[in-house]
Amino acid sequence: MVRAGAVGNDFNIQVSPSPLLVTLTPGQTQTATLTVRNFSNHSESLVPSLSGVRTNGDGNNVSLTDVVPADMRSWVQFTPAAMTIGAGQSAELTIAYHTPQNVGFSYSVAISLTSTRAAAQTSTGTAIKPQIVVFCLININRSDAKSELSIEGITSGKARYAFLPADFSVRIHNGGNIISQPSGTIFIQRAFGDTKPIATIPVNKGGGYVLPGTSRNFGATWTSGFPVYATDANGKRHLSWDWRHIGELRLGRYVAKAVLVYDNGHQDVPIVLSTTFWVVPWWLIFLVIFLVIALVMGVITWGRLIFAGTKKVRSYAAHHKK
């Protein structure tokens, strides 16, 4: 789902699903549907169109271009060609793909819904029109389509943490020729070969995609500890002492093992990579050591006082007995 809004409820449009993922078969006509909702306080007229997509190497920064791959404007049709949606209402946009026989393996395009109202002038004199963009990811159902993923690396935000959370980044490369949606799990363990993990963290919980020939970083966070750093409503970071989780005190060396499984068209292929990190709550350890030393010193001091007092009492008793 994607939503575009403007100050004063002037342009407030929501489109779902987002992104739109379709698998097309060469030589066939197939359709997909977008639901468009108007949360503005007035009716809105929108015109759909196609744009090309340009991404950087990691697939995170995306920009639109006028160049559409595979001459898609000639075989992609929108119904209706223009739509007017009343305030608080919704409508469906149908996309028909009249897929030619000679198409490649995958394409990334953008479906733009542009308002028909007159262009507004910015302070710099630039004319702009309200617009919402939904990315359309297309895989072509071909016998020679190849799905191939690999983990280029898994890193921890720090080599040593005083307290959780611990942040991880898993970099996944798509070496195939179709768009892939990786999924997997990071297992937190004491050793790589442990069969019972301490914690499990999903990879790509948001359902992101990796384009062919690109790599993308997916973040994950381990938060189950005691105490842990938390962020309050004002954005300030502080230690949270939830005594219900006192059994989750973290101390020592840990292994974060990323396990992904993908279907290469013939079988499920597992891929595994790991990294190590430490959790060492130094000041808590120093506090415990200080308390233990203070306790020992107190016991020694009291023992000396008791011994000295006992010695005096015995000396006094022996003196008066004579």
Q: pLDDT tens digits, residue range 57-97?
A: 665 678 899 999 999 999 999 999 999 999 999 999 999 99
DSSP 158-176: -SEESSB-EEEEEEEEE-S
Report the alpha-carbon distance of residue 163 to residue 160 in Å, rounded.
9
Return the residue matching tokens 């050793």.
191
Phi, psi of 132 (to 5 degrees): -125, 140
Closest CA to 103 of 144, 67, 63, 154: 144
With contact defined as beta carbons under 8 Å apart, do 245 and 173 qualify? Answer: no
Bridge pairing between strands 160-161 and 268-279: parallel
Q: What are 161-196's pLDDT values in tens digits? A: 999 999 999 999 999 999 999 999 999 999 999 999
With contact defined as beta carbons under 8 Å apart, do 165 and 229 qualify? Answer: yes
Average pLDDT, the chain: 89
pLDDT of residue 63: 87
With contact defined as beta carbons under 8 Å apart, do 121 and 154 qualify? Answer: no
pLDDT of residue 271: 96
With contact defined as beta carbons under 8 Å apart, do 172 and 149 qualify? Answer: yes
pLDDT of residue 5: 56
pLDDT of residue 322: 54
Report the alpha-carbon distance of residue 98 to residue 172 in Å, rounded.
33
Report the alpha-carbon distance of residue 14 to residue 132 in Å, rounded.
8
Structure tokens at 155: 């890193």
DSSP 42-111: S-EEEEEEEEEEEE-TTS--EEEESPPGGGGGGTEEEESSSEEE-TT-EEEEEEEEE--SS--SEEEEEE
Structure tokens at 258: 């990323």
Structure tokens at 309: 């007092």
Bridge pairing between strands 199-203 and 237-240: unpaired
Q: What are 88-146's pLDDT values in tens digits? A: 999 999 999 999 999 999 999 999 999 998 766 655 656 678 899 999 999 999 999 99
Q: What are 225-284's pLDDT values in tens digits? A: 999 999 888 889 999 999 999 899 999 999 999 999 999 888 999 999 999 999 999 877
With contact defined as beta carbons under 8 Å apart, do 172 and 152 qualify? Answer: yes
**8 — pLDDT class (breaks 50, 70, 90):** very low
Report the alpha-carbon distance of residue 131 to residue 141 in Å, rounded.
31
Return the residue matching tokens 């898994």.
154
